[in-house]
Structure 1
Amino acid sequence: MGIEIRVEGLKKSFGRQVIWEDVSFTIPAGEISALLGPSGTGKSVFLKNLVGLLRPDRGHVYVGDGDVPRLRENQLYELRRKFGVLFQDGALFGSMNIYDNIAFPLREHTSKGESEIRRIVLEKMEMVGLSGAEEKLPGEISGGMKKRAGLARALVLNPEIILADEPDSGLDPVRTAYLNQLFVDLNADLGATFLIVTHDIGTARVLPDNLGLLFRRGLVMFGPREMILSSTHPAVNQFFNARRQGPIGMAEEKDQAQLDDEGEAPQTMPAPIQPQLMPSDGRVRPAMRRPGEWLAQHNIKPPPGSFIDDEGRDWLKDWDDLIDNGHRPR
């Protein structure tokens, strides 16, 4: 099962530039969470703080019982074995074939023999749909295949936490959809904690169990998917609905003069909330919530048109039938 990550009072700066300050939230164990925000808000920097590649100016990052900024080097080395990291570009070694790239962590960090390594590598390659590509070099495969090879490498040590930094960057919408489905299937199979940093609103609206938004040197909001997607908070509403009017500008934050020029923002409803992606085999992941459950608990009416899938099924009304029949959106 996955591990809970708890962040308390985190601040990070580079010289006089404050990236974020007093960030506190909890990433639930075994769930898929996504962190978004305008460019320059420190999303990738946040991931580096989680694994101890950077140290915060102050605050705590609890991964299980360990406080990452306060661990000794040998303790940090052991903790990192619990993480699998998918980098933006896959970060594959160009001179190694795909098989050797994926086998690298096993050869570097374990004493397993080559027969055991081969079994694990081929298993992970099959898991991400790369069977038969063992001998190919990174320069001979597509961007989507590189992402999946990077993901397979992140999985070979059976991590309890999987971090993905902009996994959809450079991918077309179809490959992004395949990758999102792969994340859902892996979470269902492995039970690992997933944290995905992305700019892709389409991904954010259908993939994670929890969403967070970084802006103005801090965390604006983090919580269940339905809470964020139904929010009327100006920055959250603007970002997740891709609107120009609001506090986020071309250079991150608009000043007061710009906001005054825009005038009072019209009251706009959030976009309809789409059904959440389910595993390919129609299972319900333990972290999945019944559609509309959070909204009903907080007496919030969903935006019009919410929870209707591409086949016209209303997940609010038909959830029990969908689950009983093993259906899922295509």
Structure 2
Amino acid sequence: MGVEIRVEGLKKSFGRQVIWEDVTFTIPAGEISALLGPSGTGKSVFLKNLVGLLRPDRGHVYVGGGDVPRLRENELYDMRRKFGVLFQDGALFGSMNIYDNIAFPLREHTRKSESEIRRIVLEKMEMVGLSGAEDKLPGEISGGMKKRAGLARALVLDPEIILADEPDSGLDPVRTAYLNQLFVDLNTEMGATFLIVTHDIGTARVLPDNLGLLFRRGLVMFGPREMILSSTHPAVNQFFNARRQGPIGMAEEKDQAEVASEGQIPQAMPAPIPPQLMPSDGRLRPSMRRPGEWLRQHQTKPPPGSFVDDQGRNWLTDWDSLTHAGHRPQ
């Protein structure tokens, strides 16, 4: 099962440039969370702090009971085995075929026999849809296949936490949709904690259980998907609905005069909340919430048109019939 990640009072800077000053939130165990924000807000830097590749100026990162910035080198090495990381470009070794790229962590960090390594590698390749591509070099496959090969490599040590840094960068919308479905299916099967850093609003709106937004050297908001997508907070509303009106500018943030001038314009309402992606086999993930559950609990009306899919089915009213049993798996 997945592991909870608890971040408290995290600050990171490079020289005089402050990346973020006081980031505090909890990434729930076994759930899919996504972290977004304008370019330059330190999303990739945050991932490096989670695994101890960078140390924060102050603060704590608790993973499975250990505080990552305060671990000794041998403890840090053991802790990192909890993580599987999908890098933005796949980070495959160009001179190795796909099989050897995926086998690399097993050969480096375990004493498994080659027959056992082969069994694991082929199993993970099948999971990500790469069966038959063992002998291909990274230069011979598409960008989407590189992402899936990088994901298979991230899975071979059976990690409890999967980190994905911009997994949809460079992919067309169709391949992005396939990759999102793969994340949902892997979470269903493995129960691992997923944290996905992305710029893709389409991904953010349908994939995760939880969403967070980094902006202005801090975490603006983090919480259940419905909380974020129904929020009227200026930065959250602007970013997750891809609008020009709001505090986020072309560079990073607008000056006060520009924001004040926009105050004359009525704030647009959040867009309809789409249904969340279901696993391919129709099962409910343990962390899936019934559509509208958070909204009902907090007496918040969903934006008009919410929870209707592209086939016209209303997941808010027809949840029980659409999910066959209408209950969580035991």
Alpha-carbon distance between aligned partners in 1 of 2:260 and 2:297, rounded to the nearest angstrom: 36
Residue in 1 that maps onto 2:236: 236
In 1, distance between residues paired with 2:300 and 2:63?
33
Q: Name the residue aligned to 1:261.
A: 261
Helix, strand or coil for the counterpart of 1:277?
Answer: coil
Q: Which runs of structure 2 are paired with 1:165-314 in the superposition (5 Å)?
A: 165-314=165-314
Q: Deviations over 1:210-246 (max 9, x none)?
A: 0000000000000000000000000000000000010
State whether residues 248 and 254 of structure 1, in contact with CA within 8 Å, keep that contact through their aligned partners in structure 2: yes
Find out whether 1:124 has 2:124 as its counterpart: yes
Distance 1:64 1:152 in 2: 23
For 1:260 and 1:293, locate their aligned partners in 2 and report how far apart those are by CA, in whole Å: 35
Letter in 2 for 1:285: R
Distance 1:156 1:78 in 2: 16
Report the alpha carbon displacement of residue 265 of structure 1 after superposing the two structures with TM. 3.8
1:257 deviation in Å?
1.9
Correspondence list, 1:104-115, <5 A? 104-115=104-115
1:12 maps to 12
SS at match of 2:317: helix
- The answer to whether residue 83 in structure 2 is matched with residue 83 in structure 1 is yes
Distance 1:223 1:148 in 2: 28
Following superposition, the deviation at residue 311 of structure 1 comes to: 1.1
Q: Secondary structure at the match of 1:316?
A: coil
Alignment-derived partner of residue 164 in structure 2? 164
Q: Please, which moves more after superposition, 257-266 or 13-22? A: 257-266
SS in 2 for 1:164: strand
Gaps of 5+ in 1: none
Identity of matched residues, %? 90
In structure 2, what is the Cα distance between the partners aligned to 1:55 and 1:190?
29
1:261: how far off?
A: 3.3
Question: Secondary structure, in 3 states, of the residue corresponding to 1:252?
Answer: coil
CA contact (8 A) 1:124 1:155 kept: yes
Aligned to 2:98: 98
CA contact (8 A) 1:246 1:265 kept: no
TM-score, with structure 1 as normaliser: 0.98
Once residues 325 and 56 of structure 1 are traced to their aligned partners in structure 2, the CA distance between those partners, rounded to angstroms, is 46
Once structures 1 and 2 are overlaid, which stretch shifts more, 263-272 or 309-318? 263-272
Structure 1 position 324, deviation (Å): 1.4
Give the Cα separation in 1 of the matches to 2:260 and 2:310.
40
AA in 2 matched with 1:297: Q
- Name the stretch that deviates more: 266-275 or 1-10: 266-275
Amino acid paired to 2:159? P
State the SS of the aligned residue for 2:243: coil
CA distance in 1, matches of 2:280, 2:259: 45
- Relative to 1, partners in 2 of residues 1:252 and 1:321: Cα closer, same or farther, differing over 3 Å? same
Q: Give 3-state SS (helix, strand or coil) of 2:84's partner.
A: strand
Question: In the alignment, which residue of structure 1 is the partner of 2:72?
Answer: 72
The residue that corresponds to 2:135 in the other structure is 135
Q: Deviations over 1:293-314 (max 9, x none)?
A: 0000000010000000111111
SS of the residue 2:318 aligns to: helix
Give the AA of the match of 2:27.
I
| Alignment partners' CA distance in 1, 2:215 and 2:315 | 32
The letter of the residue matching 1:290 is R
Identify if the C-alpha distance between structure 1 residues 21 and 39 changes in structure 2 by more than 3 Å, giving closer, same or farther.
same
Can you list the C-alpha shifts for 1:253-309, whole angstroms capped at 9, x where unaligned? 111122133343412110000000010000000000000000000000100000001
Equivalents in 2 of 1:60, 1:153: separation in Å? 28
- Structure 2 CA distance, aligned partners of 1:231 and 1:303? 10
Contact 1:36 1:214 in 2 (8 A): yes
Amino acid at match of 2:172: D
The runs of 4+ residues in structure 1 deviating greater than 2 Å are 260-265
Q: For residues 47-87 of structure 1, what are the alpha-carbon distances to aligned partners after superposition, in whole Å with 9 as ceiling and x for unaligned?
A: 00000000000000000100000000000000000000000
Provide the C-alpha distance between the structure 2 equivalents of 1:275 and 1:219, rounded to a whole number of angstroms: 25
3-state SS of the aligned residue for 2:261?
helix
> Where do 5+ consecutive residues of structure 2 fail to align?
none
Counterpart amino acid of residue 40 in structure 1 = G
Question: Alpha-carbon deviation of 1:155?
Answer: 0.1
Q: Give the Cα–Cα distance (whole angstroms) in 2 for the partners of residues 104 and 177 of structure 1.
A: 28
Which has the larger displacement, 49-58 or 259-268?
A: 259-268
CA distance in 2, matches of 1:35, 1:284: 23
Deviation at 1:325, TM superposition (A): 6.7
TM-score normalised by the chain length of structure 2: 0.98
Partners of 2:156 and 2:64 in 1: CA distance: 21
Query: Which letter maps to 1:203?
Result: T
User: Which letter maps to 1:112?
Assistant: K
- Measure the CA separation in 1 of the matches of 2:134 and 2:264: 58
Root-mean-square deviation over aligned CA pairs: 0.9
